[in-house]
Amino acid sequence: MNWYEKLNQYFPIEEMKSKEHMETLLKDRPEMYHKDEGQYHVLMYAELDNFVFIDYLYVSKESRGQGLGHKLIEKLKQKGKPIILEVEPVDYEDTDTEKRLHFYKREGFEHATSIGYRRRSLATNEVNKMEILYWAPNNESEELVFDSMQKTYEMIHTYRDTHFYGESYQPVEEVLTYEKDNEKEDILDEI
């Protein structure tokens, strides 16, 4: 099974980019978009000057629990930049969503509570809500995470979208929202 088939079997259709889209990113933007692939994993990520975005992380069922996911995350942490990713909200009928969230929490990731993410899938035409998780080695703000997500959306997710899908994704301002009040509430809760 090739790297794309592994991702396609694991991730919901509404989250998947086409193979052509990802291969074009790897070809057109090799300084930024990367694939780390092994027998038991596929990691697709973008590295920019001040952050890393995990596009997809797949670890095969037969190798889970052996520390492979931790090693891959640790490799990204060595870059010393905030790491950002999107994850679907926990669905108690899909145990993978709960395991995935637990894994990232164990790796030190936090919820970006001030950031909202709702995007219409071009594959299903349904609006999907995603949660943003981040790891901030220098206590970077959620505002920086929000700015980084906007860049990711425009440089990765919507890159040549009309060419690949026959239509465009929504503009970034319709997909990502930033609520400073939520961040303040979280700070007050911690005090």
pLDDT score, position 20: 97
Does the domain made of 3-190 have the CATH classification 3.40.630.30? yes
Query: Could you report the per-residue pLDDT of 62-97, keeping only the tens digit for each?
Result: 888 889 999 999 999 999 999 999 998 877 666 677
Contact in structure between 135 and 107 (CB atoms under 8 Å)? yes
Can you give the residue ranges of every domain in the chain? 3-190
pLDDT at 92: 63
Distance, CA of 91 to CA of 147 (rounded, Å): 28
More confident residue, 45 or 183: 45
Q: pLDDT tens digits, residue range 102-134?
A: 899 999 999 999 999 999 999 889 999 999 999
Please report the DSSP string for 32-55 in residue order. TEEEEEETTEEEEEEEETTEEEEE
CA separation, residue 35 to residues 63, 72, 186 (Å): 19, 12, 35
142-152 vs 180-190: helix crossing angle, rounded to 10: 140
**Structure confidence at residue 184 (pLDDT):** 44
pLDDT of residue 61: 86
